[in-house]
């Protein structure tokens, strides 16, 4: 499948800021399931900094802008050819060992309810892949997808407690229950063309990957009850939404910041 992306993130400041420094994970991953045809990241002001491929295989670039600034926009456009690998991250080069993803964060820390959910779902034997599928299904059953019911800092435990959330919450909860079972797991950011019922997806997306012996990293999108396929574009990974964020940064100055994000992912022909 050929997927076209246009992703615009605009930051607005109620008082001009002295400067902005950002790091971007906005370039598609290199693995057998996707091939970049064209890709560009443009920032409305400032100059690009250094760029490197980190130990997890993600392309990270820096950008800085000097003020006074009352707004800054980051625009991503491109085309990617995708292939369905049933969620397996085949051909992805990275140096970080899976064991590095056995630690939790504030967002993925398991409470008693998450621990019990993981224990119940993983019970009954089976290989690592079967256990991972059961964990993903349990999270999907326990947390209903309802936009606007959680916020950026909601933890996995909080989302499970209220029984609803968005893809970020599903990913955090799946990581949490996988860790309770000794399975390395991580958060993945990217794009989704359409949900399982064919409804266009109008925002950036997130899912989790679990390390399965004999297969490697396998993606699970509990929010959509599936593994990533040709509808998905993978950008980067981390221990949680904060460390895997496509854009991270800081603005120097007083006042508050507002954020506007628009994402369009369309399928086309080469």
Please provide residue 206's backbone torsions phi and psi, each rounded to the nearest 5 degrees: -150, 150
pLDDT the model gives residue 194:
77
Under DSSP, the state recorded for 221 is B
Domains along the chain with CATH numbers: 2-81+247-268 (2.60.40.2250), 85-238 (3.10.620.30)
The model carries a pTM of 0.95
CB 216 within 8 A of CB 132: no
- The total number of residues shown for the chain amounts to 270
Pairing of strands 257-268, 2-24: antiparallel
The pLDDT tens digits of the residues spanning 125-155 come to: 778 899 999 999 999 999 999 999 999 999 9
Q: Which residue has the higher pLDDT, 238 or 201?
A: 238
The pLDDT tens digits of the residues spanning 47-97 come to: 999 999 999 999 999 999 998 999 999 999 999 999 999 999 999 999 999
Cα angle 221, 158, 88; round to 5: 15
Span of 112-116, 135-139, 200-204 with lowest mean pLDDT: 200-204
pLDDT the model gives residue 195:
64
Mark out the alpha helices in the chain (DSSP H runs). 112-122, 128-142, 156-162, 167-180
């Amino acid at each position: 499948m050929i997927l076209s992306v246009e992703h615009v993130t605009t930051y607005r400041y109620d008082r001009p800021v002295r400067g902005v420094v950002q790091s971007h994970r906005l370039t598609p991953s290199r693995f057998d399931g996707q091939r970049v045809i064209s890709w560009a990241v443009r920032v409305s002001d400032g100059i690009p900094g250094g760029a490197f491929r980190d130990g997890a295989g993600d392309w990270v670039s820096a950008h800085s802008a000097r003020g006074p600034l009352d707004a800054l926009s980051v625009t991503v456009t491109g085309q990617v050819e995708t292939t369905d690998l049933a969620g397996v991250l085949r051909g992805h080069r990275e140096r970080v060992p899976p064991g590095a993803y056995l630690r939790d964060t504030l967002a993925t820390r398991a409470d008693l309810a998450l621990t019990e959910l993981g224990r119940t779902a993983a019970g009954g034997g089976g290989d690592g892949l079967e256990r991972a599928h059961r964990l993903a299904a349990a999270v999907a059953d326990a947390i209903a997808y309802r936009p606007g019911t959680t916020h950026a800092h909601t933890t996995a435990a909080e989302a499970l407690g209220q029984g609803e959330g968005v893809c970020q919450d599903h990913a955090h909860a799946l990581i949490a229950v996988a860790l309770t079972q000794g399975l390395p797991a991580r958060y993945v950011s990217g794009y989704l063309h359409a949900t399982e019922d064919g409804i266009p997806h109008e925002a950036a997306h997130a899912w989790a990957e679990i390390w399965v012996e004999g297969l490697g990293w396998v993606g699970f999108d509990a929010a959509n009850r599936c593994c990533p396929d040709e509808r998905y574009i993978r950008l980067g990974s981390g221990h949680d939404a904060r460390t895997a964020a496509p854009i991270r940064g800081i603005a120097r100055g007083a006042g508050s910041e507002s954020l506007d994000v628009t994402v369009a992912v369309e399928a086309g022909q080469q």
